[in-house]
Amino acid sequence: MNVQFTKVVTPSAEIVDALNKWDNDPVLIPLTRPNQNREEMETRRETTVNELKTRLNSHDMFLIYLENKLVGEMNYMIDPGHLYRKVKGTAWIGITIGEPEGRGKGIGFKAIQYLEGEIKKKGLSRIELGVFEFNSQAHRLYHQLGYQEIGRIPEFTYWNEKMWTDIRMEKHL
């Protein structure tokens, strides 16, 4: 299995098209973004090349390729306001395996390890993330990679006719 990661330096229409496809995929929406109700969950989101360019000012983003096909993206930002524990020098990470053929093959495991290496190169030693309580597959992945639960934010996101908790996790590199 040939998995490659590339840093996004210059936004392109191809990248934006993939992000918009994944951001609006009904299977992925409940896993990747918090929603307060059904209406918010069903609202389309469209990113432009210029918006992605602006986002890259605060995020380091990497594309995930499987056999030379774009299947996902991962990113991190440093010290965002939504950290559960406000520890200076903390990276907040996110990952989306957008294409079905990229899921269930261990790509997420490899991708997070790669991202941790990039974060370490920046001189950072702490990572924090959030995972919705119903996303047991992601929770298992993070636990396998050494992330520990540090807190819970109840009533954080809507899915399947109810509100769910966001589980916050951390890892020290």
pLDDT in tens, 81-112: 999 999 999 999 999 999 999 999 999 999 99
Percent of the chain with pLDDT over 90: 97
The Cα–Cα gap between 66 and 107 comes to 8
pLDDT at 24: 95
Phi, psi of 147 (to 5 degrees): -80, 140
Phi then psi for residue 24, to 5 deg, are -115, 10
What pLDDT, on the 0 to 100 scale, is given for residue 88?
97
pLDDT tens-digit series, residues 102-145: 999 999 999 999 999 999 999 999 999 999 999 999 999 999 99
Q: What's the token pair of residue 22?
A: 């994944």
Mean pLDDT of 28-56: 93
Rg over CA atoms, the chain: 16
Instruction: Compute the distance between CA of residue 78 and CA of residue 81 in angstroms, rounded to an integer.
Output: 9
**3-172 placed in CATH 3.10.20.90:** no
Per the CB < 8 A criterion, the answer to whether 171 and 127 are in contact is yes
| Domain positions in the chain | 3-172
What one-letter code names the amino acid at 3? V
Average pLDDT for the chain: 96
- List, in sequence order, every residue forming a beta bridge with 152; answer none if it has no partner: 167
Per-residue confidence (pLDDT) for residue 166, from 0 to 100: 98
What are the distances in angstroms from CA 107 to CA 35, 84, 148, 163?
Answer: 26, 27, 21, 29
Q: What mean pLDDT do residues 39-65 have? A: 94
What pLDDT does 1 receive?
86
Quick one: pLDDT at residue 93?
Answer: 98
**Non-local CB neighbours of 57 within 8 Å, separated by 6+ positions:** none
